[in-house]
Amino acid sequence: MRVLVTGGAGLVGSECCRHFAGRGHEVTSVDNYSRATFFGSEGDTSSTIAAVCRDHPGVEHHEADIRDVVRLRPLVRQADLVIHTAAQPSHSRSIEIPLEDFSVNAAGTLGLLELMRTERPGAVFIYCSTNKVYGDRPNSLPLVEKETRFDYDGLEGVDESMSLDQCLHTPFGVSKTAADLYVQEYGRLHGLKTGVFRMGCIAGGAAKATPAHNWEGYFMQVALAGTELTIHGYRGKQVRDVVHARDIARLFEMFAAAPRPGEVYNIGGGRANSISLLESFELIERISGRRIRSRLGPPREGDHIVYITDLGKVRRHYGWAPAVNLEDVFREIHGYLVRSFAAGR
């Protein structure tokens, strides 16, 4: 199979390149390294794809913008599977750069869908959506406060029936929602083999963590550097469910083998991989031997108090569940950062 990965230098994209190349598929990656423009040099993903190409010499990488139709057309034309991960990925950053956020996330995705429709309608198209399409609606679910976390009052997690409408999104949530709906539409209206994966808190050693994106790696960086962390509201009791990018790549392979056009799935670590920020301090301290120093700041706009994914639908359709547990996710991040610090990167 010929696989085209947009954002191939990023966290999810690079794991997808490794996963599919490791299984003998022909992989082409496209990335313009704009994570460095969004977040500064600490977000630069160019070394990530360099490492992928070193480990898998068959991977073909193009430094190109997904909005460059002339560069993308021949790449889409030869693909059997397009995994679209490229994005401006931060909701806080989107408030500062809404036009660029829309251009990459919404218009960029529509441009790719049009290339699919005109050049390669039989191929599978996978879209990395986000649980931020639900805006701050999950905050209206009844919650209980426990010693180290908030939790839903009697609910397993958020499923795909949650409303996307009439709540606060941030520009990122809106641009990703626009793309999410377009991807569904191209499945339903044009019959393309599209799939929408509404994900949250994807982690892994390959993440170029920054204060505005990939909190798991950023917290570990803070612990190792001995600097101070700002917790945004809720006394650190906000809850996330963490999933490793390798598990995402495995799921995408399952969808590509048996696509369900226009389908939508909520994806995350689920209840077993859920953790509050306070609880993550303990885990990070146990793994790194370093205590995190923190102070409390105001909540971020539209931030979820608790987000735990109900994985029921993806389990029923594909039998998928995360295989990498929380402890192993944080251990991998720790190992990667320790090696990077030692190498002076």
Q: Between 142 and 170, whose beta carbon lies closer to ligand NAD?
A: 170
Q: Between 135 and 200, whose beta carbon lies closer to ligand NAD?
A: 200
Q: Which residue from 45, 94, 184, 273 is in contact with ligand NAD, where contact means CB under 6 A? A: 45
Please count the residues of this chain forming the interface with ligand NAD, following the rule CB under 6 A: 29
Give me the residue label for tokens 């790194």.
288
Q: Does 53 bind ligand NAD (CB under 6 A)?
A: no
Q: Does 113 bind ligand NAD (CB under 6 A)?
A: no
Q: Does 33 bind ligand NAD (CB under 6 A)?
A: yes
Q: Is 238:304 a contact under the CB 8 Å cutoff?
A: yes
Q: Between 126 and 223, whose beta carbon lies closer to ligand NAD?
A: 126
Q: Does 12 bind ligand NAD (CB under 6 A)?
A: yes
Q: Is 76:82 a contact under the CB 8 Å cutoff?
A: yes
Q: Which residue from 28, 29, 94, 130 is in contact with ligand NAD, where contact means CB under 6 A? A: 130
Q: Does 201 bind ligand NAD (CB under 6 A)?
A: yes
Q: Does 32 bind ligand NAD (CB under 6 A)?
A: yes
Q: Does 9 bind ligand NAD (CB under 6 A)?
A: yes
From the list 28-36, 116-124, 140-148, 318-326, the region that binds ligand NAD by CB under 6 A is: 28-36
Q: Is 79:4 a contact under the CB 8 Å cutoff?
A: yes
Q: Does 175 bind ligand NAD (CB under 6 A)?
A: no
Q: Does 35 bind ligand NAD (CB under 6 A)?
A: yes
d(CA 191, CA 136): 31
Of 249, 238, 247, 246, the closest CA to residue 215 belongs to 238
Give me the residue label for tokens 């991977």.
59
Q: Does 212 bind ligand NAD (CB under 6 A)?
A: no
Measured CA distances, 137 to 71, 158, 321, 323 (Å): 39, 10, 25, 29
Q: Between 34 and 139, whose beta carbon lies closer to ligand NAD?
A: 34
β-strands 60-63, 143-145 pairing: unpaired
Q: Is 321:313 a contact under the CB 8 Å cutoff?
A: no
Q: Which residue from 79, 108, 262, 264 is in contact with ligand NAD, where contact means CB under 6 A? A: 108
* Contacts (Cβ under 8 Å, ≥6 apart) of 81: 1, 2, 3, 4, 20, 123, 124, 126, 256
**Contacts with ligand NAD, residue ranges (CB under 6 A):** 7, 9-13, 30-35, 45, 65-67, 85-87, 89, 104, 108, 128, 130, 199-202, 214
